[in-house]
Amino acid sequence: MAASFVAGASVLPPFPVPFKSGTGVIDGKVIYAGLGSAGKTWYKLDTGSPEKKWEPVAEFPGTPREQSTSAVINGNIYVFGGVGKNENGLTQAFNDVYMYNPSENAWRKLMSHSPLGMVGHVTWVHDGKVFTTGGVNQNIFNGYFSDVTLADGNKTLLDDINKNYFGKSADDYLYGNTILTFDPDSSQWHYYGMLPFHGTAGATPVVNGDSIILINGEVKPGLRTDEVIAGQFKNKGLVWKKLSPVSSPDGVAGGFGGMSHGDIIFAGGAYFPGARKNYSQGKFYAHQGLKKTYSDKVYLYKKGKWSDVGTLPQGIAYGVSLPWENGLLMIGGETDGGQATTGSVWLGVNNSHLEIKKQT
């Protein structure tokens, strides 16, 4: 498949601040995005406006955080969990829920807490409800950062803490494979079943009609997977199956994903080359000494198989993926050295041709 770049065509203006590890939604033609490296700030952009400019909206009232997820239902935006500093300055996972009402330009914290921590989780909407799964184990995650804080910079203690934390098998981290639903009418959480596969953090969710596809993610800190799973809503339940793997052998976390003309697009993500090999050889601290790398690959899932169909302008991960103009819109992200970006990229497929639109 051929690929072409179209500079500056139908792509958003730069995000107002360098933006990574945030979250965002699109409601009709209006995009809302914030948190992550944007702090408590949120912005909106009307893609139907000739000017297409980012405008600030009401500031998020909660603790600044990264790795939150968001969903839009009936015009309201819901924000779930994330990781940030608590009132004592300790890094911790959150399980709270906030709602933004665009017509009132106002936020409020809901009297609702997920039964499980929500960091590295995925969310999607089906039949008027929010579904979520995956993510780190809140107790293990919070415990690690509590230990790091207590070490107070003591290198010997920190080395021991990191060795103990990173040097375990994937099963020992208890990454989430419970599926929960959130009802926006009652603000209540309900159990919806279990993934029949290992839980992941930082997977890429792609909605395709009544199906949800979860692509890659990490199975423990520093170790990704190349697995892809798909769940289809049937008879008031989810029926799961494995699809062919992608970004092998190491897989990625924090990739971008979406649909274009019925085909799945998957791009970017971050990984540690060689970690999967180390782990298979019994080196559970699999990414120790390895360099975090950002993928620039673009893959297309068509007729039951993945194809490598092109490259992004740069390797990138941990941005926002949104459906737009029958393609995948990528906003912000993180590049080499953890640098946050302000750019956007649009990926689409038309007549077996991959088109990549980027800012000039």
Which residues are catalytic, by number? 218
Q: At what angle do helices 155-166 and 138-151 cross, to 10 degrees?
A: 160
Location of structure tokens 């092109």: 310
Spatial contact of 173 and 136, defined as CB atoms under 8 Å apart? yes
d(CA 80, CA 23): 10
C-alpha 64, offset from chain centre: 17
Q: If we measure between CA atoms, which residue out of 360, 350, 249, 271 comes closest to residue 309?
A: 350
